[in-house]
A and B are shown apart, each in its own frame.
With several copies, the nearest count.
Chain A
Amino acid sequence: MKKNKHNTEFYLRLYKQMTKIRVFEDNANQLYLDAKMPGLTHMYSGEEAVAVGICEALRISDKITSTHRGHGHCMAKGANFNQMFCELLGKVEGYCRGKGGSMHIADQANGNLGANAIVGGSMGIATGSALRAKLQKSDDVTVCFFGDGATAQGLMYEVMNMAALWQLPIIYACENNGYSEYTTTEEIAAGSILERARAFGIEAFNVDGQDVIAVNKLASDLVEKARKGKGPFFIELMTYRYHGHHVGDINRTYYRSKKEELDWKNNRDPIQILGSFLESEGIASDAELMEIHSTISREAKDAVDYALNAAYPDTSEVDLHVFQEV
């Protein structure tokens, strides 16, 4: 099936968005290795099709909640390099004035209610955002991103129950990357994750999280249904993280093999998969895709330089924003 112009642009946009995330993470990792970034951070590389496929089905007024592995969600929902790198480096121009850091990036203007350093901690927030939409009779939809590990948190079942009882416009997006920290999903999840959602009367779907077009198609469908009051929904997206649990998790053969890692990187990379498709459909040539990559890399490098030279918050900020004054 020959793609029409609209789809061509859209597919290129998917490609660019995924590339932006990958490039962002490569730079963040390098900042860590160069000891220029305070603390640790969790890389989204490998999972780009999940965030991009879903967020491209959303509009700006739709909301998302994100996780400790949140850079991808944040970029996919519209964030820019400068403010993100500034936040990662604790600079005042960051999305949270340097107060949140990697694990708490929020981008209110684009509808990102924030990353969360408590696994599963944003499930209530996401569901509450959907409740707000319903109370306001708005047709905004909220997407709650979380990992397979977060399915062990009881909070998820509490809020899915209420979302189902009250038919809230929310989509629970479980990024199943096979691991929570250093433990495989089989070791921590009995039964079936999809069946758990279904047992609460929630329609649930499994999708290849490396295929951005498949993800986007399913997400677009469900978002439209949720807008019409037919939510909630649940999606399990099968994916993989390329790096360690965090940037410092270098020696990981004791919990997963190099072979497995290589297999995903070589054969199931979401950017490559879309790239091959674009080439085979004649939408973009290899050179064009390379050009996209290098443009974005330059933008990222500029942003890194900008962030490295940006100012830290003034020390007087330390006790600002504990409370909002009226």
Chain B
Amino acid sequence: MPEITLSQAVNQAIAEEMRRDSNVFLIGEDVAEAGTPFKVTSGLVEEFSTERVIDTPISEPGFMGLAVGAAMTGSRPIVDLMFGDFLFLVMDQLCNQAAKIHYMSGGKLNVPLVLRTNLGATRRSAAQHSQSLHALVAHVPGLKVAMPSSAYEAKGLLKTAIRDNNPVVIFEDKLMYQDKAFVPDEEYLLPFGEAAILKEGRDVTLIGTSSMRQVCERAAILLDKDGINAEVIDPRTIVPLDENTILNSVKKTSRAVVVDEGHQNFGTTAEIASRISEKAFYYLDAPVIRMGAMDVPIPFSPVLEDLTVPTAERVAENARKIVSGELVHAL
């Protein structure tokens, strides 16, 4: 099994699917010769030509709309949105159009498109280039939302997304593009709605999406040293959400910490925590702890920015508290 970067994994997924299905094309700003600012799509234009690797003007609502129309008429576009923060520009085309067309047409039309974008702070990019906005699209019925946590997931989930007949938004962690993971030689797809149990444990369940999976894994190592045996779960997709795997784990451990890089308020941690609290109510020995990004615009100054995102140390600390019965928030 070769070890490749997340960037290479994405590139491979796109190339493989473009080879397999001539309806797939890539569209976005500087995706062709420049290969995007993150160099994720480098080389694709050489193989597939500018017909299928399409550089656009800086018109996010416009090319998002084009992709919707192309998808409705038989194409399977992959839209490259350079920064997750630009989601705010395409919300109408994504949420009022793409998400609703299948339903509004009574099942006659459909929109098989993938919107690839990213999330993640601590890159010193300040408030308009650092947001993790997956909770917003997850709130809109008709959109699926995938959150790969390593090169392995990035490839498998993206291939599944491209073959899905519905609009899928996939968030890559922009700080992880150079991180390596082992990826099978053979073709593989990762199903949506199946969480991964990355480490089994019996004392507490740590649930981490995307960038926060590694944070949870590191927290689990810290906890091990204290004799606390944590189970680590990566939901992989938040719509659909694999509730069963999460609930089964919490029923076993009786405790959970939910960690996510989106803002905490009205965010992903609220959805996961409230489902656990409701549906595993009688199994819980302690309140479910939510750890999202701070509810502040992401500041530029490194000394401030680093405070806004959950860290392994703080996850471990919270887990320790609920395991020991010392509560974090409960009044």
Chain A residues lying within 8 Å of B308, measured Cβ to Cβ, are 318
Q: How far is the CA of A255 from the CA of B294 in the complex (A)?
A: 40
A136 within 8 Å of B by Cβ? yes
Q: How far is the CA of A117 from the CA of B166 in the complex (A)?
A: 21
Q: Contact mask B26-44 → A, CB, 8 Å, 1/0?
A: 0001100110010000000
Determine whether the beta carbon of A99 is less than 8 Å from that of B301.
yes
Determine whether the beta carbon of B304 is less than 8 Å from that of A99.
yes
B75 within 8 Å of A by Cβ? yes
A158 within 8 Å of B by Cβ? yes
Taking the closest CB of chain A, its distance from the CB of B32, in whole angstroms, is: 9
Determine whether the beta carbon of A162 is less than 8 Å from that of B86.
no
Q: Contact mask A94-110 → B, CB, 8 Å, 1/0?
A: 11111111111010100
Determine whether the beta carbon of B299 is less than 8 Å from that of A128.
no
Q: How far is the CA of A128 from the CA of B124 in the complex (A)?
A: 30
Determine whether the beta carbon of B63 is less than 8 Å from that of A162.
yes
B248 within 8 Å of A by Cβ? no
Determine whether the beta carbon of B166 is less than 8 Å from that of A162.
no
- Which of the listed residues A63, A117, A128 has the most CB atoms from chain B within 10 Å of its own CB? A128
Determine whether the beta carbon of B302 is less than 8 Å from that of A90.
yes
Q: Contact mask B112-147 → A, CB, 8 Å, 1/0?
A: 000000000001111111000000000001101000
Listed stretches B1-9, B100-108, B149-157; interface member: B100-108
A188 within 8 Å of B by Cβ? yes
B274 within 8 Å of A by Cβ? no
Known A114-B101, A121-B97, A132-B74; judge A319-B296 contact (CB<8 A).
yes
Determine whether the beta carbon of B33 is less than 8 Å from that of A132.
no
B55 within 8 Å of A by Cβ? yes
Report B49-102 residues with CB < 8 Å from chain A CB.
Answer: 51-52, 55-59, 61-75, 77, 85-86, 89, 92-93, 96-97, 101-102
Q: How far is the CA of A165 from the CA of B63 in the complex (A)?
A: 13
Known A101-B300, A321-B107; judge A153-B124 contact (CB<8 A).
no
Shortest Cβ distance from A123 into B: residue: B65
Taking the closest CB of chain B, its distance from the CB of A41, in whole angstroms, is: 10
Measured as residues with beta carbon below 8 angstroms from the partner, the interface class of chain A is 35 or more
B residues lining the A interface (CB < 8 Å): 25, 29-30, 33-34, 37, 51-52, 55-59, 61-75, 77, 85-86, 89, 92-93, 96-97, 101-110, 123-129, 141-142, 144, 163-166, 294-297, 299-304, 307-308
Determine whether the beta carbon of A128 is less than 8 Å from that of B73.
yes
A39 within 8 Å of B by Cβ? yes
Taking the closest CB of chain B, its distance from the CB of A136, in whole angstroms, is: 7
Chain B residues lying within 8 Å of A63, measured Cβ to Cβ, are 73
Chain B residues lying within 8 Å of A39, measured Cβ to Cβ, are 123-126, 300
Chain B residues lying within 8 Å of A321, measured Cβ to Cβ, are 102-103, 105-107
Q: How far is the CA of A16 from the CA of B300 in the complex (A)?
A: 30
Determine whether the beta carbon of B62 is less than 8 Å from that of A159.
yes
Determine whether the beta carbon of B299 is less than 8 Å from that of A183.
no
Determine whether the beta carbon of B56 is less than 8 Å from that of A162.
yes
Q: How far is the CA of A119 from the CA of B123 in the complex (A)?
A: 19
Taking the closest CB of chain A, its distance from the CB of B111, in whole angstroms, is: 9
